Amino acid sequence: MKVLITGALGRVGVMVVEEALAKGFEVRATDLDNPKNRETGAAFAKRGVEVHYGNLLDDAFLKGLLQGVDAVMHNAAMLPPHTETKPEIARKINVGVTKKIVELIAQMSPMPRLIFPSSFTVFGQAKTADSFKAVGDALDPNTEYTRHKADCEGIIRASGIPFVIVRLGAAIDGRETSNTDKELLVMGFVIAADTPEHWVHPKDVALAQCNACVSAEAVGNIYHLGGPDENCRVAHYELVNAAFDAMGLKISRDIFGKTFFNGHWMDTKESQRVLQFQRHNMEDYRNEYRAKFKSIKPLTKPLAFILNPLISWYMGRLVKNAKDIIAH
């Protein structure tokens, strides 16, 4: 099977490439041309990946990418908070490109299968700390990003092409603290501490996408991607504090904002039955941070009495001064 992976050199995309290679797929990967992507792409190219750098807004480039593939895993997207601060370009990228891919696939024979990663945020703002959603529940998109995802779902479902939509939960791992985007950092603390989040490992998201490429039963359906047990249904605070706990530190719940994020817990029984993707749990997530900060914990833990209030003060100050950049 030959697959096209868009956004292939991003945080989730690289996991999808790795899983596709592990499954023996022939991989065509594409992403924007920048130094970081060039470095990552060069390493994949040495392993037989066909890497293309370019802009998916270029119709000719996009059409060429689709030729000869059996499935498309469309991970390319602009993410919050940038979708909220740059709404026009974000819509062109998120909705416009997806619509064009659907149109091009519809003209092909045979038509490749489209795997589209949507989000658990399409259900709108969580109303309580135990919000739980099934696939058929009504959507309530209330931000640029969530409207993009809901619009794409509608376009795909009405298209007549073979598709699988997967709604991702909080797909984060131990790489999260390596992000230097200040807006994303602040966003993590603006969100209310008790917001429900259904954690899922990006590696499991990648497996679900790859399995969706080959499962006959999956075609034409929507699946929720969350972790395997109730311990993966957590409060937002637990996801953030895992990194600090690995350093022997603890941040105060009081510094978090008061607005509930568009986070939810999800019914994943049918998703797991069909896609067979749930391999990692919250302890794996915590262990990644423990391994990452193993060398500095002997230094930070003894200073916790100083660092804990200092970090809380600093993050509280950032949250207080933050503009409305919440990624619902």
User: What confidence category does residue 80 fall into, taking pLDDT thresholds of 50, 70 and 90?
Assistant: confident
Domain count, the chain: 1
Residue 63 DSSP label = H
- Does residue 64 form part of some domain? yes
* Res 178: pLDDT: 65
Q: Contact at 8 Å (CB) between 7 and 75?
A: yes
Residues 6+ apart with CB under 8 A from 290: 246
**Share of residues in the chain with pLDDT > 90 (%):** 81
- Does residue 116 form part of some domain? yes
* Res 182: pLDDT: 64
Q: Which DSSP helix (H) or strand (E) runs through 119?
A: strand 113-119
First CA to last CA distance, the chain: 36
Supply 291's token pair.
């391994």
- Does residue 248 form part of some domain? no
- Does residue 250 form part of some domain? no
CATH code (residue 153): 3.40.50.720
Residue 173: phi, psi to the nearest 5? -145, -165
User: What confidence category does residue 211 fall into, taking pLDDT thresholds of 50, 70 and 90?
Assistant: very high
Q: Give pLDDT tens digits for 87-116.
A: 999 999 999 999 999 999 999 999 999 999
User: What confidence category does residue 327 fall into, taking pLDDT thresholds of 50, 70 and 90?
Assistant: very low
Owning domain of residue 116: 2-181+200-225
- Does residue 231 form part of some domain? no
* Res 63: pLDDT: 98
- Does residue 194 form part of some domain? no
* Res 328: pLDDT: 38
Q: Contact at 8 Å (CB) between 205 and 279?
A: no
- Does residue 233 form part of some domain? no
Strands 233-235 and 170-171: unpaired
- Does residue 97 form part of some domain? yes
User: What confidence category does residue 318 fall into, taking pLDDT thresholds of 50, 70 and 90?
Assistant: confident
Residue 161: phi, psi to the nearest 5? -85, 160
Supply 92's token pair.
């062109």
Q: Which amino acid is at 279?
A: R
* Position 326 pLDDT exceeds 90: no
